[in-house]
Amino acid sequence: MWRQILKVRDLVLRRFGNVHNQLRAIANCHSNGKMKISSIYNTISQSSAAVPWAKTVWGDLHYPKHSIILWLATLSKLLTKDRLCRMGILEINQCVLCADSVSQPFSSYVWINLMAWMKFTWRSCCWSQVMRWYSNNLRGLGFMKKLKRMMLSGAIYWIWKERNLRIFQQRTRSPNQLIKEIKISLLLKALNDDVPEYLREEVAKL
């Protein structure tokens, strides 16, 4: 706790010189007599270049919880079984999703079917290739691009949730059940958004 407070203090001193300069900068963050939280954040935060996957992770249509899990996955922070093994809670670090898959890994089956459903012209289950393609080719503001970014965040979230269900509750769902859950969550959000009528018809056909 104190270490974090001292770290923040050091950042403030490096950026503003002293607390009084910071307070003066914050005092200018108002419009029409009202303070703007976004202006305060931009004023006190350290400026840095946006990472290439920013739009992929923090998409406009995303459920916030989906974005957070995708963000953690992008940073390689979802190593639940690795951590449990290091803590001595588990002895074997085996993928619970792939353990009972005979023909194709669980996650690959889910993802390939979702890509086919969304009419992708290419297929890949390689995480680095998928993130690179999303970061380079799906950065636009078009609704269908937003929908495809939302599909990725939803897939990661529901696969992560299924893994935790198997680890902590010893319950399982089939990959087809999970695909159905992902589609329903995506369509519910998309069709309740402000979608042009011609696109609403296209989404309804999915």
User: Per the structure, how many domains does the chain have?
Assistant: 2
- Please report, to the nearest 10 degrees, the dihedral formed by the alpha carbons of residues 156, 157, 163, 167 taken in order: 150
- C-alpha separations of 161 from 72, 75, 105, 142 in Å: 13, 18, 16, 29
Same domain, 149 and 65: yes
User: Could you tell me the residue range of the domain that residue 152 belongs to?
Assistant: 54-205
Same domain, 172 and 95: yes
This prediction has a pTM of 0.71
Q: Is residue 49 part of a domain?
A: no
10-residue mean pLDDT profile of the chain (206 residues): values are 54 60 69 68 63 88 91 82 71 66 75 93 91 90 89 95 88 92 89 74 73
Say whether both 39 and 59 belong to one domain. Answer: no
Quote the Cα angle for 127-132-134, to 5°.
95
